[in-house]
């Protein structure tokens, strides 16, 4: 029994590893932070709103959250400053989870240029900027894990979310290119591709469907999950468990993959 005379506590598998999670204030990001913390990682939580990050941090083991950074991932200077501050507080970054994202729906001809650019900026350029800022630490240490939260929309087409589909296809392309480039360096790069997940973003989509069609909440959710053979929303905890597996010892040979969590929607 741990703590008995002569016994030595068994270290957790991510003890000493510094993990930076973007979009960490709620939903999938908060679930990922909790999963990594439970395995011993030291966390930097990054998001747009500090108050949201602070609320998430209160739900995590106090020793796990060493740094919070309010940062817009589309701003190069903010990203560089946030990563530098995280490094100063708790050392080089070993794990990066690019989770920050946004989605807006509209028919293609009603998708204006501002929406197109904003979606690609957050979902794709944000991944580029955060990865570029964190990668030197991994190269210097000779190891690293990068996990990009993409979507089934990065693997197939969906109507009314052209910009979102394009951005997530881009994330998967970036994942594959970087995985090839970094394979000799013991740095893995993978994408996790959930279907519709029970988050604030999807709840807003449900509200929009109800407002426009008069459907009930159950009917709106059914419309979103009709492609999922399990006919349900994915839970943030399921996404977090997959991210955690990719970061744990034993997944060293898994790189360049797009792992789908969508109840059999994509096979």
Centre a 10 Å sphere on the Cβ of residue 172 and count the other Cβ atoms it contains.
19
- Give 24's contacts (C-beta < 8 A, 6+ positions apart): 30, 32, 33, 43, 45, 46, 47, 53, 56, 99
In the chain the domains, ranked by start, together with CATH numbers, are 18-195+234-249 (3.40.50.720)
Answer whether 188's CB lies under 8 Å from 254's CB: yes
Q: CB pairs under 8 A, 24+ apart, for 49-55?
A: 49/25, 52/25, 52/26, 53/24, 53/25, 55/25
pLDDT of residue 7: 52
Three-class SS of residue 14? coil
Angle at 190 between CA 189 and CA 192, to 5 degrees: 155
- Give catalytic status of residue 164 as yes or no: yes
Specify the pTM.
Answer: 0.91
Which of 6-20, 81-95, 235-249 is predicted with the least confidence, judged by mean pLDDT? Answer: 6-20
What per-residue string of b and e applies to 114-149 under the rule 16 or more CB within 10 Å gives b?
ebeebbbbbbbbbbbbbbebbbebbeeeebbbbbbb
- Give 5's contacts (C-beta < 8 A, 6+ positions apart): none
pLDDT tens digit sequence for 116-167: 999 999 999 999 999 999 999 999 999 999 999 999 999 999 999 999 999 9
Active-site choice (164, 196, 205, 239):
164
pLDDT tens digit sequence for 192-223: 999 888 777 777 777 777 777 888 888 777 77
pLDDT of residue 1: 42
pLDDT tens digit sequence for 55-81: 999 999 988 988 999 999 999 999 999
pLDDT of residue 66: 83
Average model confidence (pLDDT) across the chain: 92
Position 9 pLDDT exceeds 80:
no
pLDDT interval class at 105 (50, 70, 90)? confident
């Amino acid at each position: 029994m741990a703590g008995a005379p002569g016994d030595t506590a068994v270290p957790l598998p991510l003890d000493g590893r510094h993990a930076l999670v973007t979009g960490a204030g709620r939903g999938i990001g908060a679930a990922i932070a909790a999963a990594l913390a439970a395995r011993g990682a030291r966390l930097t939580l990054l998001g747009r709103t500090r108050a949201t990050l602070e609320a998430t941090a209160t739900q995590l083991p106090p020793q796990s959250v060493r740094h919070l950074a309010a940062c817009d991932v589309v701003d190069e200077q903010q990203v560089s400053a946030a990563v530098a501050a995280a490094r100063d507080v708790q050392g080089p970054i070993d794990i990066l989870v690019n989770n920050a994202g946004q989605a807006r729906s509209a028919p293609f001809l009603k998708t204006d240029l501002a929406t197109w650019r904003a979606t690609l900026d957050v979902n794709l350029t944000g991944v580029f900027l955060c990865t570029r800022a964190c990668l030197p630490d991994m190269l210097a240490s000779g190891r690293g894990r990068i996990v990009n939260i993409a979507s089934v929309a990065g693997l197939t087409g969906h109507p009314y979310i052209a910009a979102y589909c394009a951005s997530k296809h881009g994330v998967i392309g970036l994942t594959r290119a970087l995985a090839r480039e970094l394979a000799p360096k013991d740095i893995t790069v993978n994408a996790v591709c959930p279907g519709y997940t029970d988050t604030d973003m999807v709840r807003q989509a449900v509200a929009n469907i109800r407002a426009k069609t008069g459907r009930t909440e159950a009917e709106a959710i059914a419309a979103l999950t009709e492609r999922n053979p399990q006919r349900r929303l994915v839970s943030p905890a399921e996404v977090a468990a997959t991210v955690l597996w990719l970061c744990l010892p034993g997944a060293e040979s898994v790189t360049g993959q797009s792992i789908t969590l969508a109840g059999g929607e994509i096979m």
